[in-house]
Structure 1
Amino acid sequence: MHPPHLDLRLDGFRATDEQTEEAFRDAIGIDHADLIPLAEHHTPEGTSYHLLHHAAATWGTPGEPQLIALHLWRDLREKTFGFTHAPLPLVAMAQSWLVHRGCPREKIRLAPDTGTAAADETTRALEDRLTYEGNHFALLDSYTDDDPDHAATVVILRSLDEHSPSPFRVLHETVDTASRTHTLREGGFTTHAEALRWCGDALAGKATPPPPFRSTVRPGPQPIGAPPGVGHRSAGRGR
Protein backbone atom coordinates (compact mmCIF):
# COMPACT_ATOMS: atom_id res chain seq x y z
CA MET A 1 0.00 0.00 0.00
CA HIS A 2 1.45 3.34 -1.05
CA PRO A 3 1.55 6.23 1.47
CA PRO A 4 -0.78 9.16 0.76
CA HIS A 5 0.51 11.80 -1.65
CA LEU A 6 1.34 15.23 -0.26
CA ASP A 7 -0.53 17.99 -2.10
CA LEU A 8 0.46 21.42 -0.80
CA ARG A 9 -2.06 23.14 -3.12
CA LEU A 10 0.53 25.55 -4.49
CA ASP A 11 -0.11 25.09 -8.21
CA GLY A 12 -0.22 28.54 -9.78
CA PHE A 13 1.38 30.20 -6.73
CA ARG A 14 4.89 31.59 -6.37
CA ALA A 15 6.89 32.44 -3.27
CA THR A 16 6.61 36.02 -2.04
CA ASP A 17 10.31 36.66 -2.72
CA GLU A 18 13.56 34.91 -3.64
CA GLN A 19 14.52 34.37 -0.01
CA THR A 20 11.22 32.59 0.70
CA GLU A 21 11.57 30.53 -2.48
CA GLU A 22 15.05 29.37 -1.51
CA ALA A 23 14.05 28.63 2.08
CA PHE A 24 11.00 26.65 0.95
CA ARG A 25 13.04 24.63 -1.52
CA ASP A 26 15.62 23.75 1.15
CA ALA A 27 13.10 22.96 3.89
CA ILE A 28 10.27 21.30 1.95
CA GLY A 29 10.79 21.12 -1.80
CA ILE A 30 13.92 18.96 -1.86
CA ASP A 31 12.32 16.35 0.41
CA HIS A 32 8.77 16.61 -0.95
CA ALA A 33 8.66 12.98 -2.13
CA ASP A 34 9.65 11.76 1.35
CA LEU A 35 7.07 13.83 3.25
CA ILE A 36 4.00 11.80 4.22
CA PRO A 37 0.88 13.74 5.27
CA LEU A 38 -0.53 12.68 8.64
CA ALA A 39 -3.08 15.47 9.08
CA GLU A 40 -3.93 18.75 7.36
CA HIS A 41 -6.39 21.63 7.46
CA HIS A 42 -7.14 24.33 4.89
CA THR A 43 -9.13 27.55 5.24
CA PRO A 44 -11.05 29.45 2.53
CA GLU A 45 -8.74 32.42 3.11
CA GLY A 46 -5.74 30.45 1.82
CA THR A 47 -4.09 29.26 5.02
CA SER A 48 -2.97 25.65 5.34
CA TYR A 49 -1.67 23.57 8.24
CA HIS A 50 0.17 20.30 7.66
CA LEU A 51 1.51 17.64 10.02
CA LEU A 52 4.06 15.59 8.08
CA HIS A 53 6.24 12.55 8.64
CA HIS A 54 9.70 12.81 7.08
CA ALA A 55 10.17 9.22 5.96
CA ALA A 56 13.83 9.71 4.97
CA ALA A 57 14.85 11.18 8.34
CA THR A 58 15.70 7.69 9.58
CA TRP A 59 18.67 7.70 7.19
CA GLY A 60 19.92 11.12 8.28
CA THR A 61 21.52 12.29 11.51
CA PRO A 62 20.74 9.73 14.25
CA GLY A 63 18.10 10.93 16.68
CA GLU A 64 16.78 13.84 14.64
CA PRO A 65 13.02 14.59 14.77
CA GLN A 66 10.99 12.81 12.11
CA LEU A 67 7.93 15.08 12.11
CA ILE A 68 7.44 18.46 10.44
CA ALA A 69 4.79 21.03 11.28
CA LEU A 70 4.17 23.26 8.26
CA HIS A 71 2.16 26.50 8.17
CA LEU A 72 1.41 27.97 4.72
CA TRP A 73 -0.39 31.19 3.89
CA ARG A 74 -1.40 32.48 0.46
CA ASP A 75 -2.30 35.81 -1.08
CA LEU A 76 -5.16 34.64 -3.29
CA ARG A 77 -5.16 37.86 -5.31
CA GLU A 78 -1.41 38.09 -5.93
CA LYS A 79 -1.00 34.30 -6.18
CA THR A 80 1.93 34.28 -3.77
CA PHE A 81 2.66 32.24 -0.65
CA GLY A 82 4.75 32.32 2.50
CA PHE A 83 5.50 29.65 5.06
CA THR A 84 7.07 28.69 8.34
CA HIS A 85 7.87 25.23 9.63
CA ALA A 86 9.42 23.32 12.51
CA PRO A 87 10.89 19.81 12.85
CA LEU A 88 9.47 18.29 16.04
CA PRO A 89 9.86 14.92 17.79
CA LEU A 90 6.29 14.17 18.96
CA VAL A 91 2.88 14.37 17.29
CA ALA A 92 1.39 16.32 20.21
CA MET A 93 4.19 18.90 19.97
CA ALA A 94 3.64 19.34 16.22
CA GLN A 95 -0.10 19.71 16.81
CA SER A 96 0.57 22.30 19.52
CA TRP A 97 2.85 24.28 17.20
CA LEU A 98 0.09 24.42 14.56
CA VAL A 99 -2.68 25.19 17.06
CA HIS A 100 -0.74 28.16 18.37
CA ARG A 101 -0.52 29.46 14.82
CA GLY A 102 -4.27 29.46 14.38
CA CYS A 103 -5.23 25.90 13.43
CA PRO A 104 -8.38 24.63 15.18
CA ARG A 105 -7.27 21.84 17.45
CA GLU A 106 -9.93 19.39 16.28
CA LYS A 107 -8.87 19.87 12.64
CA ILE A 108 -5.32 18.61 13.06
CA ARG A 109 -5.99 15.34 14.87
CA LEU A 110 -4.65 12.16 13.32
CA ALA A 111 -7.14 9.81 11.71
CA PRO A 112 -7.77 6.62 13.74
CA ASP A 113 -5.82 4.48 11.26
CA THR A 114 -2.83 6.85 11.11
CA GLY A 115 0.27 6.20 13.20
CA THR A 116 -0.03 4.50 16.58
CA ALA A 117 -2.82 4.86 19.14
CA ALA A 118 -2.41 6.03 22.73
CA ALA A 119 -1.97 2.97 24.93
CA ASP A 120 -3.76 4.37 27.98
CA GLU A 121 -5.66 7.30 29.43
CA THR A 122 -2.50 8.76 31.00
CA THR A 123 -0.98 9.07 27.55
CA ARG A 124 -4.13 10.64 26.09
CA ALA A 125 -4.37 13.17 28.93
CA LEU A 126 -0.70 14.14 28.67
CA GLU A 127 -0.92 14.60 24.89
CA ASP A 128 -4.00 16.75 25.40
CA ARG A 129 -2.15 18.99 27.86
CA LEU A 130 0.89 19.26 25.59
CA THR A 131 -1.30 20.56 22.78
CA TYR A 132 -2.37 23.50 24.94
CA GLU A 133 0.88 24.07 26.83
CA GLY A 134 3.30 24.21 23.90
CA ASN A 135 3.90 27.96 24.01
CA HIS A 136 4.97 27.76 27.67
CA PHE A 137 8.06 25.65 26.93
CA ALA A 138 11.11 25.76 24.68
CA LEU A 139 12.49 22.62 23.07
CA LEU A 140 16.08 22.02 24.17
CA ASP A 141 16.93 18.44 23.23
CA SER A 142 15.36 15.38 21.66
CA TYR A 143 16.34 11.96 20.40
CA THR A 144 14.21 9.62 18.30
CA ASP A 145 15.18 5.95 18.14
CA ASP A 146 13.06 4.29 15.45
CA ASP A 147 14.43 0.76 15.82
CA PRO A 148 11.25 -1.40 15.67
CA ASP A 149 12.49 -3.55 18.55
CA HIS A 150 12.73 -0.63 20.99
CA ALA A 151 11.30 2.47 19.33
CA ALA A 152 11.39 5.43 21.70
CA THR A 153 11.67 9.22 21.83
CA VAL A 154 12.98 11.40 24.63
CA VAL A 155 12.48 15.16 24.82
CA ILE A 156 13.75 17.88 27.15
CA LEU A 157 11.71 21.08 27.42
CA ARG A 158 12.64 24.22 29.33
CA SER A 159 9.87 26.05 31.14
CA LEU A 160 9.55 29.73 30.18
CA ASP A 161 8.26 30.44 33.69
CA GLU A 162 11.32 31.41 35.71
CA HIS A 163 9.46 30.46 38.89
CA SER A 164 8.62 26.93 37.76
CA PRO A 165 9.40 24.29 40.42
CA SER A 166 10.35 21.94 37.54
CA PRO A 167 12.27 24.11 35.06
CA PHE A 168 13.26 21.11 32.91
CA ARG A 169 10.50 18.81 31.72
CA VAL A 170 11.27 15.42 30.17
CA LEU A 171 8.94 13.45 27.91
CA HIS A 172 9.47 9.77 27.17
CA GLU A 173 7.47 8.01 24.46
CA THR A 174 7.79 4.28 23.84
CA VAL A 175 6.17 2.48 20.92
CA ASP A 176 4.85 -1.07 20.81
CA THR A 177 5.02 -1.88 17.10
CA ALA A 178 3.17 -5.18 17.55
CA SER A 179 0.05 -3.56 19.01
CA ARG A 180 0.58 -0.25 17.16
CA THR A 181 0.28 1.72 20.39
CA HIS A 182 2.48 4.25 22.17
CA THR A 183 2.92 5.24 25.81
CA LEU A 184 3.93 8.76 26.88
CA ARG A 185 5.17 9.76 30.33
CA GLU A 186 6.72 12.91 31.79
CA GLY A 187 8.99 14.00 34.61
CA GLY A 188 10.54 17.16 36.03
CA PHE A 189 14.11 18.09 36.94
CA THR A 190 15.77 21.13 38.45
CA THR A 191 18.86 21.03 36.19
CA HIS A 192 19.50 20.36 32.52
CA ALA A 193 22.30 17.94 33.37
CA GLU A 194 19.94 15.77 35.44
CA ALA A 195 17.40 15.74 32.62
CA LEU A 196 20.04 14.76 30.05
CA ARG A 197 21.36 11.98 32.25
CA TRP A 198 17.86 10.57 32.77
CA CYS A 199 17.14 10.65 29.02
CA GLY A 200 20.36 8.78 28.30
CA ASP A 201 19.38 6.12 30.82
CA ALA A 202 15.87 5.92 29.33
CA LEU A 203 17.25 5.28 25.84
CA ALA A 204 19.50 2.58 27.29
CA GLY A 205 16.54 0.97 29.06
CA LYS A 206 18.00 1.67 32.51
CA ALA A 207 15.96 4.64 33.72
CA THR A 208 14.03 4.67 36.97
CA PRO A 209 10.74 6.63 37.10
CA PRO A 210 11.59 10.36 36.91
CA PRO A 211 10.58 12.87 39.58
CA PRO A 212 7.05 14.17 38.99
CA PHE A 213 6.68 17.23 36.80
CA ARG A 214 5.01 20.13 38.60
CA SER A 215 3.33 22.45 36.13
CA THR A 216 2.54 26.13 36.67
CA VAL A 217 0.44 26.29 33.48
CA ARG A 218 -3.27 26.78 34.07
CA PRO A 219 -5.32 23.95 32.54
CA GLY A 220 -7.44 24.49 29.45
CA PRO A 221 -6.98 26.31 26.14
CA GLN A 222 -4.39 29.07 26.03
CA PRO A 223 -4.55 32.26 23.93
CA ILE A 224 -3.13 31.81 20.46
CA GLY A 225 0.23 33.45 20.00
CA ALA A 226 3.60 32.78 18.44
CA PRO A 227 5.42 30.16 20.53
CA PRO A 228 9.16 30.37 21.12
CA GLY A 229 11.52 29.40 18.34
CA VAL A 230 12.42 25.75 18.08
CA GLY A 231 16.05 24.87 18.53
CA HIS A 232 17.42 21.59 19.79
CA ARG A 233 20.22 19.12 19.75
CA SER A 234 20.09 15.37 20.14
CA ALA A 235 19.89 14.00 23.67
CA GLY A 236 21.40 10.69 24.64
CA ARG A 237 23.55 8.43 22.58
CA GLY A 238 23.98 7.92 18.85
CA ARG A 239 22.81 4.74 17.19
Structure 2
Amino acid sequence: MKDTDFRLDGLVAADEQSATAYDRTWICRYQTISQHDVGERSFIVAFDPSATWDAPDTPNLFSFDVVRDSGQGTFSLHGSGHATFAFAQRWLINRGCPAEALAPIADAPKPADELTVRVEDRIRHSGERLAVVEHQVIDGDDVEGWSIAVDHQDKELPVRLFLESLQPDQYTYTVREGAFADWDAVDAWLEDRSTPLPEAPEYRLDAEALRTGAALSRTTTSLPQASVAPSTPAAPVNSPQSFGRSL
Protein backbone atom coordinates (compact mmCIF):
# COMPACT_ATOMS: atom_id res chain seq x y z
CA MET A 1 0.00 0.00 0.00
CA LYS A 2 1.15 3.52 -0.72
CA ASP A 3 1.02 6.44 1.69
CA THR A 4 -2.19 8.45 1.38
CA ASP A 5 -1.83 11.76 -0.45
CA PHE A 6 -4.62 14.07 0.66
CA ARG A 7 -3.46 16.69 -1.91
CA LEU A 8 -3.67 19.60 0.51
CA ASP A 9 -0.47 21.46 -0.35
CA GLY A 10 -1.02 25.21 -0.35
CA LEU A 11 -4.45 24.92 1.29
CA VAL A 12 -5.54 25.79 4.83
CA ALA A 13 -8.22 24.13 6.94
CA ALA A 14 -11.66 25.64 6.56
CA ASP A 15 -12.61 24.86 10.18
CA GLU A 16 -11.17 23.61 13.45
CA GLN A 17 -12.37 20.05 12.95
CA SER A 18 -10.59 19.86 9.60
CA ALA A 19 -7.43 21.29 11.16
CA THR A 20 -7.45 18.64 13.89
CA ALA A 21 -8.01 15.84 11.36
CA TYR A 22 -5.17 17.20 9.21
CA ASP A 23 -2.76 17.29 12.17
CA ARG A 24 -3.47 13.59 12.75
CA THR A 25 -2.45 12.72 9.18
CA TRP A 26 1.13 13.68 10.05
CA ILE A 27 1.17 11.29 13.01
CA CYS A 28 -0.51 8.25 11.46
CA ARG A 29 0.96 8.08 7.95
CA TYR A 30 -2.19 6.54 6.50
CA GLN A 31 -1.90 4.01 3.68
CA THR A 32 -4.55 4.02 0.95
CA ILE A 33 -6.75 0.96 0.46
CA SER A 34 -9.43 2.54 -1.73
CA GLN A 35 -9.89 5.98 -3.27
CA HIS A 36 -12.40 7.72 -5.54
CA ASP A 37 -11.81 11.27 -6.82
CA VAL A 38 -14.50 13.58 -8.19
CA GLY A 39 -13.08 16.94 -9.16
CA GLU A 40 -11.75 18.54 -5.99
CA ARG A 41 -13.36 15.94 -3.74
CA SER A 42 -11.78 12.64 -2.63
CA PHE A 43 -13.36 9.65 -0.88
CA ILE A 44 -10.64 7.55 0.77
CA VAL A 45 -10.43 4.37 2.84
CA ALA A 46 -7.02 4.07 4.49
CA PHE A 47 -5.15 1.83 6.92
CA ASP A 48 -3.50 3.31 10.00
CA PRO A 49 -0.46 1.17 10.93
CA SER A 50 0.19 3.28 14.02
CA ALA A 51 -3.09 2.17 15.62
CA THR A 52 -1.38 -0.98 16.91
CA TRP A 53 0.59 1.21 19.35
CA ASP A 54 -2.50 3.04 20.57
CA ALA A 55 -5.08 1.87 23.13
CA PRO A 56 -6.44 -1.66 22.56
CA ASP A 57 -9.03 -1.90 19.76
CA THR A 58 -8.31 1.56 18.40
CA PRO A 59 -9.75 1.51 14.85
CA ASN A 60 -7.10 0.89 12.20
CA LEU A 61 -9.32 1.57 9.19
CA PHE A 62 -10.37 5.14 8.43
CA SER A 63 -12.76 6.72 5.96
CA PHE A 64 -12.00 10.26 4.76
CA ASP A 65 -14.14 12.75 2.88
CA VAL A 66 -11.85 15.50 1.55
CA VAL A 67 -13.27 18.61 -0.13
CA ARG A 68 -10.83 21.15 -1.58
CA ASP A 69 -11.71 24.71 -2.59
CA SER A 70 -8.81 25.94 -4.68
CA GLY A 71 -10.54 29.28 -5.29
CA GLN A 72 -10.70 30.00 -1.56
CA GLY A 73 -7.46 28.16 -0.78
CA THR A 74 -9.16 25.98 1.84
CA PHE A 75 -10.08 22.37 2.49
CA SER A 76 -12.54 20.39 4.61
CA LEU A 77 -11.43 17.02 5.97
CA HIS A 78 -13.82 14.69 7.77
CA GLY A 79 -13.02 11.17 8.90
CA SER A 80 -14.34 8.17 10.80
CA GLY A 81 -12.66 5.06 12.24
CA HIS A 82 -13.87 1.49 11.69
CA ALA A 83 -12.95 -2.10 12.51
CA THR A 84 -13.99 -3.61 9.15
CA PHE A 85 -13.70 -2.50 5.54
CA ALA A 86 -17.41 -2.73 4.67
CA PHE A 87 -18.35 -0.29 7.43
CA ALA A 88 -15.61 2.07 6.24
CA GLN A 89 -17.12 1.90 2.75
CA ARG A 90 -20.63 2.48 4.10
CA TRP A 91 -19.60 5.73 5.79
CA LEU A 92 -18.43 7.11 2.44
CA ILE A 93 -21.44 5.77 0.55
CA ASN A 94 -23.68 7.58 3.03
CA ARG A 95 -21.81 10.78 2.13
CA GLY A 96 -22.46 10.35 -1.59
CA CYS A 97 -19.67 8.12 -2.91
CA PRO A 98 -20.79 5.51 -5.46
CA ALA A 99 -20.50 2.02 -3.95
CA GLU A 100 -18.89 0.55 -7.06
CA ALA A 101 -16.08 3.12 -6.86
CA LEU A 102 -14.75 1.85 -3.53
CA ALA A 103 -13.16 -1.46 -4.51
CA PRO A 104 -9.67 -1.93 -3.02
CA ILE A 105 -6.86 -0.58 -5.15
CA ALA A 106 -4.25 -2.13 -2.85
CA ASP A 107 -3.43 -5.82 -2.53
CA ALA A 108 -5.86 -7.17 0.07
CA PRO A 109 -7.46 -10.50 1.08
CA LYS A 110 -10.50 -11.52 -0.98
CA PRO A 111 -13.94 -12.67 0.21
CA ALA A 112 -13.86 -16.44 0.69
CA ASP A 113 -17.46 -17.15 -0.34
CA GLU A 114 -20.73 -15.76 -1.68
CA LEU A 115 -22.24 -15.30 1.80
CA THR A 116 -19.39 -12.95 2.73
CA VAL A 117 -20.17 -10.88 -0.38
CA ARG A 118 -23.87 -10.73 0.60
CA VAL A 119 -23.19 -9.73 4.22
CA GLU A 120 -20.75 -6.99 3.19
CA ASP A 121 -23.20 -5.73 0.57
CA ARG A 122 -25.88 -5.48 3.27
CA ILE A 123 -23.49 -3.45 5.44
CA ARG A 124 -22.49 -1.13 2.62
CA HIS A 125 -26.09 -0.33 1.68
CA SER A 126 -27.59 -0.23 5.19
CA GLY A 127 -27.64 3.58 5.32
CA GLU A 128 -28.37 4.66 8.89
CA ARG A 129 -30.10 1.38 9.75
CA LEU A 130 -27.05 -0.09 11.55
CA ALA A 131 -25.40 1.83 14.38
CA VAL A 132 -22.05 0.37 15.47
CA VAL A 133 -21.58 0.55 19.23
CA GLU A 134 -18.63 -1.77 19.91
CA HIS A 135 -15.87 -3.49 17.98
CA GLN A 136 -12.73 -5.57 18.12
CA VAL A 137 -10.12 -4.87 15.45
CA ILE A 138 -7.89 -7.35 13.65
CA ASP A 139 -4.36 -6.42 14.65
CA GLY A 140 -0.97 -8.06 14.28
CA ASP A 141 -1.33 -11.85 14.28
CA ASP A 142 -5.07 -11.72 15.03
CA VAL A 143 -7.34 -13.61 12.65
CA GLU A 144 -10.69 -12.42 14.01
CA GLY A 145 -12.42 -9.10 14.48
CA TRP A 146 -16.01 -8.01 14.93
CA SER A 147 -18.44 -5.13 15.06
CA ILE A 148 -21.59 -5.07 17.19
CA ALA A 149 -24.38 -2.91 15.80
CA VAL A 150 -27.97 -2.05 16.62
CA ASP A 151 -30.41 -2.70 13.76
CA HIS A 152 -32.98 0.07 14.13
CA GLN A 153 -35.47 -1.74 11.88
CA ASP A 154 -35.59 -5.00 13.86
CA LYS A 155 -37.51 -5.01 17.15
CA GLU A 156 -37.14 -8.72 17.95
CA LEU A 157 -33.42 -9.26 17.20
CA PRO A 158 -31.93 -5.76 17.17
CA VAL A 159 -28.38 -6.58 18.29
CA ARG A 160 -26.23 -7.73 15.37
CA LEU A 161 -22.74 -9.21 15.48
CA PHE A 162 -20.67 -8.96 12.29
CA LEU A 163 -17.88 -11.49 12.71
CA GLU A 164 -14.85 -11.30 10.39
CA SER A 165 -12.36 -14.19 10.19
CA LEU A 166 -9.13 -14.27 8.20
CA GLN A 167 -7.69 -17.32 6.43
CA PRO A 168 -4.05 -16.21 6.03
CA ASP A 169 -2.96 -19.31 4.10
CA GLN A 170 -5.61 -18.68 1.42
CA TYR A 171 -5.36 -14.87 1.65
CA THR A 172 -9.14 -14.74 2.10
CA TYR A 173 -11.66 -13.79 4.78
CA THR A 174 -15.26 -14.47 5.76
CA VAL A 175 -17.87 -12.18 7.30
CA ARG A 176 -20.95 -13.55 9.07
CA GLU A 177 -23.89 -11.77 10.70
CA GLY A 178 -25.49 -13.05 13.89
CA ALA A 179 -28.76 -11.77 15.38
CA PHE A 180 -29.46 -11.46 19.12
CA ALA A 181 -32.31 -10.21 21.26
CA ASP A 182 -30.13 -8.21 23.66
CA TRP A 183 -26.60 -7.35 24.77
CA ASP A 184 -26.39 -10.16 27.30
CA ALA A 185 -27.05 -12.71 24.56
CA VAL A 186 -24.31 -11.48 22.24
CA ASP A 187 -21.81 -11.15 25.12
CA ALA A 188 -22.61 -14.69 26.25
CA TRP A 189 -22.09 -16.05 22.74
CA LEU A 190 -18.75 -14.28 22.29
CA GLU A 191 -17.58 -15.66 25.62
CA ASP A 192 -18.81 -19.24 25.14
CA ARG A 193 -18.82 -20.06 21.38
CA SER A 194 -20.38 -23.50 22.09
CA THR A 195 -23.21 -22.98 19.57
CA PRO A 196 -23.24 -21.76 15.96
CA LEU A 197 -23.61 -18.03 15.39
CA PRO A 198 -27.39 -17.36 15.45
CA GLU A 199 -28.34 -16.71 11.85
CA ALA A 200 -29.84 -13.33 11.00
CA PRO A 201 -33.43 -13.56 9.67
CA GLU A 202 -32.49 -11.80 6.41
CA TYR A 203 -30.39 -14.79 5.37
CA ARG A 204 -32.89 -17.37 6.61
CA LEU A 205 -35.48 -15.87 4.27
CA ASP A 206 -33.00 -16.00 1.38
CA ALA A 207 -32.18 -19.63 2.13
CA GLU A 208 -35.88 -20.56 2.31
CA ALA A 209 -36.49 -18.87 -1.04
CA LEU A 210 -33.62 -20.80 -2.60
CA ARG A 211 -34.91 -24.08 -1.19
CA THR A 212 -38.45 -23.33 -2.41
CA GLY A 213 -37.16 -22.45 -5.87
CA ALA A 214 -35.14 -25.65 -6.05
CA ALA A 215 -38.15 -27.73 -4.94
CA LEU A 216 -40.41 -26.11 -7.55
CA SER A 217 -37.79 -26.73 -10.22
CA ARG A 218 -37.60 -30.43 -9.32
CA THR A 219 -41.41 -30.72 -9.26
CA THR A 220 -41.80 -29.05 -12.65
CA THR A 221 -39.18 -31.17 -14.37
CA SER A 222 -40.65 -34.39 -12.95
CA LEU A 223 -44.24 -33.75 -14.09
CA PRO A 224 -45.52 -36.38 -16.61
CA GLN A 225 -45.93 -35.16 -20.18
CA ALA A 226 -49.51 -34.90 -21.44
CA SER A 227 -50.30 -37.53 -24.06
CA VAL A 228 -51.74 -36.60 -27.44
CA ALA A 229 -55.35 -37.70 -27.94
CA PRO A 230 -55.62 -40.45 -30.56
CA SER A 231 -58.06 -38.37 -32.60
CA THR A 232 -55.63 -35.41 -32.85
CA PRO A 233 -53.07 -35.81 -35.65
CA ALA A 234 -49.53 -34.81 -34.81
CA ALA A 235 -48.52 -31.45 -36.27
CA PRO A 236 -45.69 -31.42 -38.85
CA VAL A 237 -42.29 -30.47 -37.40
CA ASN A 238 -42.22 -27.10 -39.15
CA SER A 239 -45.89 -26.32 -38.55
CA PRO A 240 -46.68 -23.26 -36.33
CA GLN A 241 -48.86 -25.46 -34.14
CA SER A 242 -45.80 -27.45 -33.01
CA PHE A 243 -44.33 -24.34 -31.28
CA GLY A 244 -47.53 -22.78 -29.99
CA ARG A 245 -47.13 -24.07 -26.37
CA SER A 246 -43.55 -22.87 -26.03
CA LEU A 247 -43.98 -19.32 -27.25
* Residue matched to 1:42: 37
Aligned-pair distance for 1:105?
A: 0.9
| 1:59-138 alignment runs, 5 A limit | 59-111=53-105, 114-138=107-131
Q: Which of 208, 213, 220 is 2:195 aligned to? A: 208
Structure ranking higher in helix proportion: 2
Q: Amino acid of the residue matched to residue 14 of structure 1? A: V
SS in structure 2 of the partner of residue 197 of structure 1 = helix
Distance 2:18 2:164 in 1: 35
* Residue matched to 1:151: 143
Distance 1:139 1:208 in 2: 24
Higher relative contact order (CA 8 A, sep 6+): 1
Aligned-pair distance for 1:160?
A: 2.1
* Residue matched to 2:162: 171
* Residue matched to 2:2: 4
Q: Amino acid of the residue matched to residue 106 of structure 1? A: E
Aligned-pair distance for 1:197?
A: 2.7
Aligned-pair distance for 1:57?
A: 1.2
Distance 2:22 2:69 in 1: 19
Distance 2:201 2:155 in 1: 8
Q: How many residues align?
A: 203
Q: Amino acid of the residue matched to residue 173 of structure 2? A: H
Distance 1:42 1:147 in 2: 31
* Residue matched to 2:51: 57
* Residue matched to 2:135: 142
Question: Do the aligned partners of 1:69 and 1:86 also contact (CA within 8 Å) in 2?
Answer: yes
* Residue matched to 1:15: 13
SS in structure 1 of the partner of residue 201 of structure 2 = coil
SS in structure 2 of the partner of residue 64 of structure 1 = coil
Question: Do the aligned partners of 1:93 and 1:134 also contact (CA within 8 Å) in 2?
Answer: no
Distance 2:71 2:17 in 1: 18
Distance 2:127 2:51 in 1: 23
Q: 1:152 to 1:22 in 2, by over 3 A?
A: same
TM-score relative to the length of structure 1: 0.78
Q: Which of 25, 30, 34 is 2:27 aligned to? A: 30
Q: Which sections of structure 2, spanning at least 5 residues, go unmatched?
A: 207-247
Q: Amino acid of the residue matched to residue 200 of structure 2? A: F
| Bigger radius of gyration | 2
SS in structure 2 of the partner of residue 28 of structure 1 = helix
Distance 1:47 1:207 in 2: 48
Q: 1:145 to 1:109 in 2, by over 3 A?
A: closer
Do structure 1's residue 181 and structure 2's residue 172 form an aligned pair?
yes
Q: Amino acid of the residue matched to residue 108 of structure 2? A: G
SS in structure 2 of the partner of residue 97 of structure 1 = helix
* Residue matched to 2:215: none
Aligned-pair distance for 1:165?
A: 2.4
TM-score relative to the length of structure 2: 0.76
* Residue matched to 1:160: 152
Distance 2:5 2:140 in 1: 29
Distance 1:188 1:58 in 2: 29
